[in-house]
Structure 1
Amino acid sequence: MSDQDLFYLLALMKVEGVGDIIAKKLITNCGSAESIFKTGLNKIAAIDGIGSALVNNLKDKSIFEKADKELKFIQSNNIQVSYFQDDIYPERLKHCIDSPVLIFTAGNIDLKNRKTISIVGTRQITSYGIEFCRKFIEDLVPLDPVIISGFAYGVDIMAHQLAMEYNLQTVGVLAHGLNQIYPKNHKKYMAKMEENGGFITEFWSTSQPDRENFVRRNRIVAGISEATIVIESADKGGSLITANLANDYNRDVFAVPGRVTDKYSQGCNDLIKTQKANVLTSAADLVYVLNWDLEKKSKAVQKQLFVELEPDEQMVYDFLIKNGKELLDSIALECNLPIFKISGILLNMELKGVIRPLPGKTFEAI
């Protein structure tokens, strides 16, 4: 994208009354952001859903001064810009009707053809949440997923820290411009995150971390990933908003169940109870529902000689050796094991390199 194209896109996004949906409609009808400003106002007014007030706002010359200032900030700080029609724009986010027209990134982010999950939850993470989050991310390491979160206190920063600890790419979605960081205490994590991952935002350098920006931020967290995982949440909170947005985008949502008496399990339990989220008791649940294939990743654990199997694992392995390829349901039935348990057993066996998953939730021994 040329500087001229970016300049007009920035100007368009500063027109009062123009949001992401309206901007896309105008661009679709006129061909480009620049063409919008060079098209007769009568033709603009004739576009379905475009009112006279918005047309008059297009006459505001101050938007070009603001656009020029932001363009200079972008250029001088080496900020990467993705346009919603570009190939480099996150593919899953493209399919969200209200996705940002422009996103600004810093670091070394690579989401193309990657397994990507968002992990969210309370800012008051408990020892239960920390323990689950660590085991969950550790078990996903062979799949090399990208871990997305909001860089806030609690579950967010824990997910980022664990991703860095296990050398996974991690991306923080910010509710402000790239000229600052919030909360300030998390500035110490920025450099390492940018080495393998980084930061995404739709907000300009003039934006502050205002309350309403966090809700807007959450739609990116929900839309950019294959699935959203809620680790812990009270009965109200931003993570529940993110989960609802993910449902609206037809993405999978998972929630970690907890005791009914625990304050920060109430939101997760309610998501599960109302069938807005899958139950998440281990990484195996995620792998099963998303049908992820361990074998295709370069970091997948290869088969080891003389692997030690647990009794249930040995039973499943013997069954697959004898019968060849089998459906997950058939394995559970013939081995007399419940589905929730067989999922974890099969994941552990994949990690040990003794079986591999096939399309259609089928497995075979290696």
Structure 2
Amino acid sequence: MKDQELFYLLALLKVDGVGDIMGKKLLHSFGDAESIFKAKNNQLAAVDGIGSVLLKNLKDRSVFDKAEKELSFIKNNAIQTSFFQDESYPERLKHCLDGPILIFTAGNLDFKKRKIISIVGTRQITSYGTEFCRKLIEDLAPLDPVIVSGFAYGVDIIAHQAAIDHNLQTIGVLAHGLNQIYPKSHKKYMAKMEENGGFITEFWSDSNPDKEKFVRRNRIVAGMSEATIVIESADKGGSLITANMANEYNRDVFAVPGRVTDKYSQGCNNLIKTQKASVLTNAADLIYMLNWDIKEKQKPIQKLLFVDLEPEEQKVYDFLQVNGKELLDIIAIECDFPIFKMSGILLNMELKGLIRPLPGKLFESI
């Protein structure tokens, strides 16, 4: 976008009463932001939803000074911008009526990747939630998904860290401008994230991380992703708001179940109980429900001799060779592995083309 176009767009976004929905209406009617400011009163009044107050606000030229200041910040700090009609704008977010008209980004972002998932949850993550989150991302890594979260304490930062550990693109959606970072203790993760991923925000450089901005931030987290996963949550919290937004956007929502007595499993259990989320117990659940094609990651196998197997995988393969197709639970019992570990082993073997899943949680060797 040229500087002049960006200048008028920034000015439009600073007009009091012009939100994302009204702004899109105006842009649809007049084509670009500059034409909106040059339009006559009767032309503006013809747009549905514009009353006398908004009509007056659209004639307020003080927004130009604010736009000029923000444009200088963008240019001086090499901030990237993405208009909601640009190819560079997240594809799924384009289909959200209240998606931001303009987003600011930093890092190396690739929104054309199709497998984009959001992982959210409590800031008070437990050891159970931490282990599940890391294992989930480890098992999904061969499929190269983009991991989106809010760069906050708890589940968010664990998800970002796990993505970095497995060389996955990870995106932090911020509730403030790109002139700062919150929380400050997470500044140490910024460089690694920007190498393969980075940050998105709709907020200007004069925006502080106020409470209401986190709620607005959540709609980007939910809207840009194929699915939202809630790892842990109390019965109230921002992650539940994100899950509800994802449902409203007709996105898939998954929740990790926990004991009914655990405080930070109550929100997830309630999502499942009220059928607002599907149960997520391992990566295989997600792959199956999202209908992700894993064949693209499988390597052709001529003979088993040419495949590097971990000891656990060899044990499972030998068992299936002798016993034929078998239930996941039986494989776990006979091979002496816990269920949660068994799921990951089977997924890795499936990706290597050694086994295939069958209906009814059955598996057989190939």
Asked if these proteins are the same fold (TM beyond 0.5), I'd say yes
Structure 1, residues 265-310: CA drift from partner, whole Å, max 9, x if none? 000000000000010000010000001112224xx56645365262
- Mind listing any 5+ residue stretches in structure 1 that lack a counterpart? 320-330
Matches within 5 A, 1:295-334: 295-297=295-297, 303=301, 305=305, 308=314, 310=316, 314=320, 318=324
1:184 is aligned to 2:176: no
Counterpart CA distance in 2 for 1:53 and 1:345 is 62
Is the 8 Å Cα contact of residues 295 and 356 (structure 1) preserved in structure 2? no
Query: Alpha-carbon deviation of 1:354?
Result: 2.1
Counterpart CA distance in 2 for 1:269 and 1:65 is 50
- 1:263 is aligned to 263
Query: Alpha-carbon deviation of 1:113?
Result: 2.9
**Residues 294 and 309 of structure 1, relative CA distance in 2, 3 Å threshold:** farther
- 1:42 is aligned to 42
1:4 is aligned to 2:4: yes
Counterpart CA distance in 2 for 1:365 and 1:34 is 64
Counterpart CA distance in 1 for 2:7 and 2:323 is 60
Structure 1, residues 173-216: CA drift from partner, whole Å, max 9, x if none? 00000000000110111111100100000000010000000000
- 2:70 is aligned to 70
Counterpart CA distance in 2 for 1:265 and 1:302 is 41
Compare 107-116 and 198-207 and name the one that shifted more: 107-116
- 2:127 is aligned to 127
- 1:226 is aligned to 226
Counterpart CA distance in 2 for 1:43 and 1:192 is 49
Q: TM-score, normalised to structure 1's length?
A: 0.88
1:252 is aligned to 2:252: yes
What RMSD, in angstroms, separates the aligned Cα atoms of the two structures?
A: 2.8
Query: Alpha-carbon deviation of 1:316?
Result: 11
Counterpart CA distance in 1 for 2:22 and 2:158 is 37
Is the 8 Å Cα contact of residues 106 and 200 (structure 2) preserved in structure 1? yes
Which letter maps to 1:55? L
Counterpart CA distance in 1 for 2:356 and 2:106 is 37
Is the 8 Å Cα contact of residues 320 and 364 (structure 2) preserved in structure 1? no
- Mind listing any 5+ residue stretches in structure 2 that lack a counterpart? 333-338
Counterpart CA distance in 1 for 2:331 and 2:130 is 33
Aligned residue-pair number: 347
- 2:97 is aligned to 97
Which letter maps to 1:63? V
- 2:335 is aligned to none
- 2:27 is aligned to 27
- 1:139 is aligned to 139
Structure 1, residues 12-50: CA drift from partner, whole Å, max 9, x if none? 000000000000000001111111111111111111111
Which letter maps to 2:223? G
Is the 8 Å Cα contact of residues 229 and 253 (structure 2) preserved in structure 1? yes
State percent identity of aligned pairs.
Answer: 73
Matches within 5 A, 1:346-365: 347-355=347-355
Query: Alpha-carbon deviation of 1:51?
Result: 1.2
Counterpart CA distance in 2 for 1:317 and 1:220 is 48
Question: Match of 1:172, SS?
Answer: strand
Counterpart CA distance in 1 for 2:141 and 2:273 is 30
Query: Alpha-carbon deviation of 1:114?
Result: 3.0
1:198 is aligned to 2:204: no
Query: Alpha-carbon deviation of 1:353?
Result: 2.0
- 2:169 is aligned to 169
Question: Match of 2:198, SS?
Answer: strand
1:54 is aligned to 2:58: no
Structure 1, residues 204-231: CA drift from partner, whole Å, max 9, x if none? 0010000000000000000011000000
